[in-house]
Amino acid sequence: MGAPRDPDGAIAVLREAVAAGVNHIDTSDFYGPHVTNQIIRQALHPYPKGLVIVTKLGGRRPPDKSWQPATSREELIAGVHDNLRNLGVDALDIVNYRFMGSGHGLGEGSIAEQVTVLAELREKGLIRHIGLSSVTAAQVAEAQAITDVVCVQNNYNLAHRDDDLLIDDLARQGIPYVPFFPLGGFSPLQSSTLSAVAGRLEATPMQVALAWLLHRSPNILLIPGTSSLAHLRENLAAGRLTLSSQALAELDGIARAAAVV
């Protein structure tokens, strides 16, 4: 909520990320609200060719800083226009419909009405592609009966692996899976196993956690958030780490241990 403590630093992070070859930025106009998209526009507009900005709809952030659904036809249409205005574009590359289940967790319920609205907005040229966030496999299938789904963004990391089957199914379909909270989110990943593997590789635990995701499946795209250039560079370096079969087996055991607890 609100503006970052260091707006100039945020702009520097965005510019260095793109200069380093990052071509996928995850955002939403309800981050801030509005502030994040305005900073992206200030830092990068006019946007370089090949940069894909993925935003999301389905929620709002009132002054009390809570997360509230914004799922009516009117709210979705207004949200698209907010994103267009604050990003300074005529069409949004990808819009994820975020199902507001239990906080950041999943929930059952139809998303047909909301996906249909987004499909109509795509037909009007305001959206190029449609994705989903915080959804179950059943909700993915429901959306695919209405329109093409180009990506799915759910909570997934070394210790939170409920989506293993979904990731594999999406990979067979050639659909990217984008894990949010790849480093644990509000509860950063902590594991003696993770630290031990990182020590052997002379890397940080967070770099190893990101590298594991890249090894997990070829359809995984990473969106680790950061507010500092140092952490941005660390995150990018994770893509150069190679994990042995032994290291992968050790890391895979973290989720099993968490499930026992």
Catalytic residues: 31
Return d(Cα 222, Cα 211) in angstroms, integer.
10
Cα separations (Å) of 84 from 8, 39, 147? Answer: 23, 14, 21
Q: From the CB of residue 39, how many other CB atoms can be counted at a distance below 10 Å?
A: 21
- Would you tell me how many other CB atoms lie within 10 Å of the CB of residue 7? 14
Distance, CA of 255 to chain centre: 21
Distance from C-alpha of 37 to C-alpha of 227, rounded to nearest angstrom: 15
Task: Yes or no: say if 60 and 83 are a contact pair by the CB < 8 Å rule.
Answer: no
17 C-beta neighbours (distance < 10 Å), count: 21
